[in-house]
Amino acid sequence: MHERDSFPTPLPGSKPKKPLDTVVKMAIGVFIGSFALIWGGMYLSRPDRSIPPYSIGSQEETAVAIHVPPWTSDGEIETLIERFRKVGRETRNFGSMKVRPTTPDDPTEHYRRLTIYIFSLDAWAEPAMLHKYLTGEDPDVRGGFRRALRGLYELTEAEEEGRIGPLLDNPGTAGTEVYARQLFKGPLSRPSARAAEPTIAP
Protein backbone atom coordinates (compact mmCIF):
# COMPACT_ATOMS: atom_id res chain seq x y z
CA MET A 1 0.00 0.00 0.00
CA HIS A 2 1.42 3.36 -1.09
CA GLU A 3 1.85 6.08 1.44
CA ARG A 4 -0.45 9.04 0.88
CA ASP A 5 1.39 12.07 -0.42
CA SER A 6 1.61 14.70 2.32
CA PHE A 7 1.43 17.52 -0.25
CA PRO A 8 -2.02 18.48 -1.50
CA THR A 9 -2.71 17.85 -5.14
CA PRO A 10 -3.01 21.18 -7.01
CA LEU A 11 -6.37 21.90 -8.56
CA PRO A 12 -6.63 21.40 -12.30
CA GLY A 13 -5.68 24.55 -14.20
CA SER A 14 -4.15 26.24 -11.14
CA LYS A 15 -0.62 27.62 -11.35
CA PRO A 16 1.84 27.12 -8.52
CA LYS A 17 2.68 30.33 -6.67
CA LYS A 18 6.12 31.65 -7.41
CA PRO A 19 8.12 33.38 -4.70
CA LEU A 20 8.81 37.10 -5.23
CA ASP A 21 11.93 37.79 -7.19
CA THR A 22 14.82 39.33 -5.21
CA VAL A 23 14.79 42.46 -7.41
CA VAL A 24 11.06 42.96 -6.75
CA LYS A 25 11.61 42.58 -3.02
CA MET A 26 14.42 45.14 -3.13
CA ALA A 27 12.26 47.60 -5.11
CA ILE A 28 9.40 47.29 -2.61
CA GLY A 29 11.84 47.78 0.26
CA VAL A 30 13.33 50.91 -1.37
CA PHE A 31 9.84 52.34 -1.99
CA ILE A 32 8.69 51.82 1.60
CA GLY A 33 12.01 53.08 2.95
CA SER A 34 11.87 56.24 0.81
CA PHE A 35 8.32 56.98 1.96
CA ALA A 36 9.33 56.52 5.60
CA LEU A 37 12.37 58.78 5.16
CA ILE A 38 10.30 61.58 3.59
CA TRP A 39 7.68 61.70 6.33
CA GLY A 40 10.27 60.99 9.03
CA GLY A 41 12.34 63.92 7.78
CA MET A 42 9.29 66.18 7.78
CA TYR A 43 8.51 65.11 11.35
CA LEU A 44 12.02 65.59 12.69
CA SER A 45 12.75 68.83 10.84
CA ARG A 46 9.72 70.77 12.05
CA PRO A 47 10.65 73.64 14.36
CA ASP A 48 8.85 72.04 17.32
CA ARG A 49 6.43 69.29 18.15
CA SER A 50 3.45 71.55 18.83
CA ILE A 51 2.78 71.99 15.10
CA PRO A 52 2.17 69.33 12.45
CA PRO A 53 5.09 68.22 10.25
CA TYR A 54 5.40 70.06 6.95
CA SER A 55 7.82 70.43 4.09
CA ILE A 56 8.51 73.30 1.69
CA GLY A 57 7.53 72.10 -1.78
CA SER A 58 8.45 75.24 -3.71
CA GLN A 59 8.96 78.96 -3.39
CA GLU A 60 8.69 81.65 -6.03
CA GLU A 61 9.39 85.18 -4.87
CA THR A 62 6.81 85.95 -2.15
CA ALA A 63 4.74 82.77 -2.69
CA VAL A 64 5.51 79.54 -0.83
CA ALA A 65 3.78 76.17 -1.31
CA ILE A 66 4.10 73.66 1.52
CA HIS A 67 2.64 70.21 2.07
CA VAL A 68 1.59 68.34 5.16
CA PRO A 69 0.81 64.61 5.56
CA PRO A 70 -2.61 63.61 4.14
CA TRP A 71 -3.91 62.67 7.60
CA THR A 72 -3.33 66.19 9.00
CA SER A 73 -6.59 67.53 10.45
CA ASP A 74 -8.01 71.02 9.94
CA GLY A 75 -7.30 71.71 13.60
CA GLU A 76 -3.62 70.89 13.13
CA ILE A 77 -3.44 73.07 10.02
CA GLU A 78 -5.01 75.90 12.01
CA THR A 79 -2.26 75.42 14.63
CA LEU A 80 0.36 75.70 11.87
CA ILE A 81 -1.25 78.86 10.47
CA GLU A 82 -1.34 80.37 13.96
CA ARG A 83 2.39 79.66 14.30
CA PHE A 84 3.09 81.53 11.05
CA ARG A 85 0.92 84.35 12.38
CA LYS A 86 2.89 84.46 15.64
CA VAL A 87 6.19 84.68 13.76
CA GLY A 88 4.78 87.40 11.49
CA ARG A 89 3.67 89.48 14.44
CA GLU A 90 6.68 89.01 16.70
CA THR A 91 9.82 88.79 14.57
CA ARG A 92 8.76 88.60 10.91
CA ASN A 93 11.71 86.28 10.42
CA PHE A 94 10.44 83.10 8.76
CA GLY A 95 13.88 81.57 8.35
CA SER A 96 13.17 79.42 11.40
CA MET A 97 10.09 78.14 9.56
CA LYS A 98 12.27 77.00 6.61
CA VAL A 99 11.10 79.86 4.33
CA ARG A 100 13.73 81.71 2.31
CA PRO A 101 13.59 85.54 2.33
CA THR A 102 10.72 86.69 0.10
CA THR A 103 11.98 90.27 -0.33
CA PRO A 104 15.77 89.76 -0.11
CA ASP A 105 16.56 93.09 -1.80
CA ASP A 106 14.83 95.03 0.96
CA PRO A 107 17.58 96.08 3.42
CA THR A 108 15.15 96.62 6.29
CA GLU A 109 12.89 93.59 6.09
CA HIS A 110 13.42 90.35 4.18
CA TYR A 111 9.84 89.17 4.66
CA ARG A 112 7.75 92.24 3.87
CA ARG A 113 5.23 90.17 1.92
CA LEU A 114 4.52 86.47 2.13
CA THR A 115 1.80 84.08 1.00
CA ILE A 116 1.86 80.47 2.17
CA TYR A 117 -0.29 77.86 0.43
CA ILE A 118 -0.80 74.61 2.37
CA PHE A 119 -1.60 71.29 0.66
CA SER A 120 -1.94 67.71 1.82
CA LEU A 121 -1.19 66.44 -1.71
CA ASP A 122 2.46 67.19 -2.42
CA ALA A 123 1.98 67.31 -6.22
CA TRP A 124 0.26 70.70 -5.87
CA ALA A 125 3.25 72.10 -4.00
CA GLU A 126 5.66 71.34 -6.85
CA PRO A 127 7.49 74.31 -8.47
CA ALA A 128 5.75 73.84 -11.84
CA MET A 129 2.29 73.94 -10.25
CA LEU A 130 3.06 77.03 -8.19
CA HIS A 131 4.47 78.81 -11.23
CA LYS A 132 1.44 77.97 -13.39
CA TYR A 133 -0.88 79.18 -10.66
CA LEU A 134 0.94 82.48 -10.20
CA THR A 135 1.19 83.20 -13.93
CA GLY A 136 -2.37 82.03 -14.67
CA GLU A 137 -1.13 80.35 -17.86
CA ASP A 138 -3.29 77.26 -17.30
CA PRO A 139 -6.87 77.88 -16.07
CA ASP A 140 -7.32 74.20 -15.16
CA VAL A 141 -4.24 74.25 -12.94
CA ARG A 142 -5.37 77.50 -11.35
CA GLY A 143 -8.81 76.07 -10.52
CA GLY A 144 -7.38 72.79 -9.22
CA PHE A 145 -4.76 74.62 -7.15
CA ARG A 146 -7.41 76.71 -5.39
CA ARG A 147 -9.69 73.73 -4.77
CA ALA A 148 -6.87 71.56 -3.41
CA LEU A 149 -5.80 74.09 -0.77
CA ARG A 150 -6.00 72.99 2.86
CA GLY A 151 -4.98 76.35 4.28
CA LEU A 152 -3.52 79.77 3.53
CA TYR A 153 -1.54 82.42 5.38
CA GLU A 154 -0.91 85.84 3.83
CA LEU A 155 1.16 88.68 5.22
CA THR A 156 1.67 92.16 3.80
CA GLU A 157 3.33 95.28 5.20
CA ALA A 158 0.28 96.09 7.31
CA GLU A 159 -2.26 93.23 7.13
CA GLU A 160 -2.54 89.50 7.61
CA GLU A 161 -5.04 86.78 6.69
CA GLY A 162 -5.47 83.13 7.58
CA ARG A 163 -7.86 80.64 6.02
CA ILE A 164 -8.76 76.97 6.29
CA GLY A 165 -9.87 75.02 3.24
CA PRO A 166 -10.01 75.78 -0.47
CA LEU A 167 -10.31 79.20 -2.08
CA LEU A 168 -13.79 79.13 -3.56
CA ASP A 169 -15.19 81.41 -6.24
CA ASN A 170 -18.54 81.48 -4.44
CA PRO A 171 -17.68 81.32 -0.74
CA GLY A 172 -21.26 82.11 0.25
CA THR A 173 -22.64 78.86 -1.22
CA ALA A 174 -24.54 76.73 1.29
CA GLY A 175 -22.37 74.13 2.97
CA THR A 176 -19.02 75.59 1.95
CA GLU A 177 -18.43 77.01 5.44
CA VAL A 178 -17.70 73.44 6.59
CA TYR A 179 -14.76 73.16 4.20
CA ALA A 180 -13.63 76.77 3.80
CA ARG A 181 -13.58 79.40 6.51
CA GLN A 182 -11.64 82.50 7.39
CA LEU A 183 -9.66 82.33 10.62
CA PHE A 184 -8.61 85.96 10.74
CA LYS A 185 -8.11 89.00 8.53
CA GLY A 186 -7.12 92.49 9.47
CA PRO A 187 -4.36 94.93 10.33
CA LEU A 188 -1.24 93.80 12.12
CA SER A 189 -0.88 94.71 15.77
CA ARG A 190 2.78 95.32 15.11
CA PRO A 191 3.95 97.65 12.29
CA SER A 192 6.54 96.45 9.84
CA ALA A 193 10.14 97.51 10.28
CA ARG A 194 9.83 99.96 7.42
CA ALA A 195 6.75 101.59 8.93
CA ALA A 196 8.41 101.73 12.35
CA GLU A 197 11.42 103.68 11.13
CA PRO A 198 11.50 107.17 12.68
CA THR A 199 11.10 110.09 10.32
CA ILE A 200 14.07 112.42 10.29
CA ALA A 201 13.19 116.05 9.70
CA PRO A 202 15.22 117.77 6.96
Taking only the tens place, the pLDDT of each residue in 78-134 is 999 999 999 999 999 999 899 999 999 888 889 999 999 999 999 999 999 999 999
Measured in whole angstroms, how far is the alpha carbon of residue 189 from the centre of its chain? 27
For 147, counting Cβ atoms within 10 Å of its Cβ (0-12 exposed, 13-18 middle, 19+ buried), the class is middle
Average pLDDT over residues 5-27: 62
Q: Is the pTM of this model over 0.85?
A: no
- The phi and psi torsions of 76 (rounded to 5 degrees) equal -70, -40
